[in-house]
Structure 1
């Protein structure tokens, strides 16, 4: 999806408030639908996460198992990615050594590294939740929020509808690829996110060097 004839973007600066943290993990398996469990477990250790609208927890991924679609394998390369205010980095030390219980699956948190945002022209979010149930409404929501909140008109590719379980019921959303994004807007979008439910992994953008590897997966 693209707009036509949007105004030329002038070079501007943006200083992110947040930063990415990458935690080492120890465990064997996790529930496939783990977003709400992971959120609840982390809030139990760091309750202030729920007080900051920008803080986010990226989807925890794993490999398929013989248990069907309900359980995933993890290994020593699996990482937990979180996005928090830079002023809270020292507070994140509290997580190191904690053992989380995700529906009976134990997950121990190890040390972490920090990573600043990169102002790539192409950024991707695995799941965007705008509150709309249809793709047509979702696209309108995205265009409206980009235009009014970020003053941005760029190209984007919307993926197939997905469902995410939450404490309040199922959430319906889509993956989203934005391309031709000016550097300062890229940083702002990574910093602020799009849509709702950041602690469930929604609306969290990460940079991509090219849209080519993503297009077959989300078209």
Structure 2
């Protein structure tokens, strides 16, 4: 039932930034902790990967209009609002946080996440089996597919995961996955799902091939 899904919204901040590391999940989380305090146990928080265009030198040309997006319990919005006007150091690249807007989660039959990590599952087939078990435990009917293998650097520890798309979701299932996430390290940009349009889903499969 939708009524038992934990309340979550996305709060999006404009971001005055040109570049960030392409693998920026740990660096961005560390930057947020420096401004907001220790967030390691913050189950109410997930951090979206920064939007932008990958460059061949391992950097991301940041799309500042889409900016910094956090998925939070609405009761915690006052905790993150002080980010506005502050400077983030994201792996040695400066970014100034701007004004914010709040968006409700939107249902979609197809969701995607840039990176999902499940400890101990490094190959596509067993990874998908583990992912399906998580969906079953959540009571979500959907068909997961794994895309490109990706690596997250966490304090010099390499964490392996995959891009993921979920297909055939109900409204309840889509909202539940977005609210709860899948896998670990959601405060570092992993397991954070967003609706995929037909064009986005096709582009994601092409990019992952």
Q: CA–CA distance in 2 between the matches of 1:192 and 1:64?
A: 28
Q: Secondary structure at the match of 1:49?
A: coil
**Cα distance, 1:100 vs structure 2:** 1.1
CA RMSD of aligned residues (A): 1.9
Alignment-derived partner of residue 202 in structure 1: 190
Q: Whose helix fraction is larger, Structure 1's or Structure 2's? A: 2
**Cα distance, 1:80 vs structure 2:** 0.8
TM-score (norm: length of structure 1): 0.85
The question of 1:186 aligning with 2:174 is answered yes
Counterpart among 122, 127, 150 of residue 133 in structure 1 = 122
**Cα distance, 1:121 vs structure 2:** 1.3
Q: Is the 8 A contact 1:54 1:198 kept in 2?
A: no
Alignment-derived partner of residue 86 in structure 2: 98
Alignment-derived partner of residue 27 in structure 1: 17
Q: CA–CA distance in 2 between the matches of 1:123 and 1:144?
A: 17
Q: CA–CA distance in 1 between the matches of 2:91 and 2:135?
A: 37
Alignment-derived partner of residue 100 in structure 2: 112
Q: CA–CA distance in 2 between the matches of 1:95 and 1:74?
A: 18
TM-score (norm: length of structure 2): 0.89
Q: CA–CA distance in 1 between the matches of 2:177 and 2:84?
A: 28
Q: CA–CA distance in 1 between the matches of 2:58 and 2:47?
A: 20
Distance 1:103 1:76, change over 3 A: closer
Runs of 5+ in structure 1 lacking a partner?
1-11
Runs of 5+ in structure 2 lacking a partner?
none
Distance 1:69 1:145, change over 3 A: same
Structure having the higher Rg: 1
